[in-house]
Amino acid sequence: MRLLIGGMVWAVLCFLLIPNWVIHPITSQFRSHSGMPIWSLGILVSCGALFGLAMQSGSAFAKWIDRRPWISLVVILGIIVGWIVVFERK
């Protein structure tokens, strides 16, 4: 639960205080504004926390995932790819 709240707080505070800071390759230009906004990392952390809460032992979802371990990989990759597609700045 702390990761979920922490991710949301990170996203909101960074969006309000430093909305134009981006993650970009070290080889790119110094003043480049293309890349992933830093505040969007909070959303990524919150998505991971929600998946972790859903996977807590005893839930029907956790039992279903235990029978299909490859789905965890698909969900995690889907979250990361979705984050990149939605928040990539050009």
- Domains of the chain: which residue ranges? 2-16+36-87
Q: What is the pLDDT of residue 59?
A: 79
CA distance linking residue 4 with residue 20, whole number of Å = 23
| H-helix or E-strand spanning residue 36 | strand 36-37
Rounded mean pLDDT, 4-9: 92
Q: What is the pLDDT of residue 32?
A: 62
Residue 28 has pLDDT above 70, yes or no: no
Average pLDDT, the chain: 83
Q: What is the pLDDT of residue 67?
A: 87
Q: What is the pLDDT of residues 49-89, one digit of tens each?
A: 888 888 886 778 888 888 888 888 898 898 888 888 887 76
What tokens were used for 11?
């996203």
